[in-house]
Amino acid sequence: MRCKVLVVSYEAETGTRMANAVAEGPAGDRQVRQIEAKGNLVVVQMDQIATGDAATFNMRENTVTLVGNVVVTRGSNVLRGQRLVVDLTRGVSKMDGGRIDGIFQSERRSPPEWRDTAEKGATAEKR
């Protein structure tokens, strides 16, 4: 992931304020609650690239939400919208928030082998 600004929020201790990320001592073992990425966001995962203006990683819900000029590219397939929510637990993504544009390219496939075999068999039987 690349971005201009990254803000990390930690779980608060009971009865105290939010933890300071640079604080020494026991604050270092707190759990991350949320990560906010802002400015020219680029997220790369395997063969997919997602870009947007900002993103929020919610650790409690295990979701990532990208907002603002979101573009998801996988090979020659492209999906554009204003908001993308990814549920990391279920592996489900949802694009919403207005108009959504998509370009999908089908892969070229060679004809199935069974078709060639069946045609050869049919020709041999006619003789």
pLDDT tens column, 12-43:
865 545 445 455 445 557 889 999 999 999 98
Task: Give me the pLDDT at residue 30, please.
Answer: 80
In angstroms, the CA 67 to CA 44 distance is 16
Residue 99 amino acid letter? R
Lowest mean pLDDT among 43-47, 89-93, 123-127: 123-127
Q: Model's pTM, two decimal places?
A: 0.69
CATH number at residue 113: 2.60.450
Instruction: Name the residue with higher pLDDT: 97 or 51.
Output: 51
In angstroms, the CA 71 to CA 79 distance is 6
Q: What is the number of structural domains in the chain? A: 1
Q: Where are the beta strands (DSSP E) in 1-125?
A: 5-10, 32-45, 48-58, 63-74, 77-87, 92-96, 101-103
Task: Give me the pLDDT at residue 1, please.
Answer: 87
Mean pLDDT of the 41-52 span: 90
User: What domain range is 27 assigned to?
Assistant: 5-126
Task: Give me the pLDDT at residue 24, please.
Answer: 47
Lowest mean pLDDT among 7-21, 42-56, 70-84, 89-103: 7-21
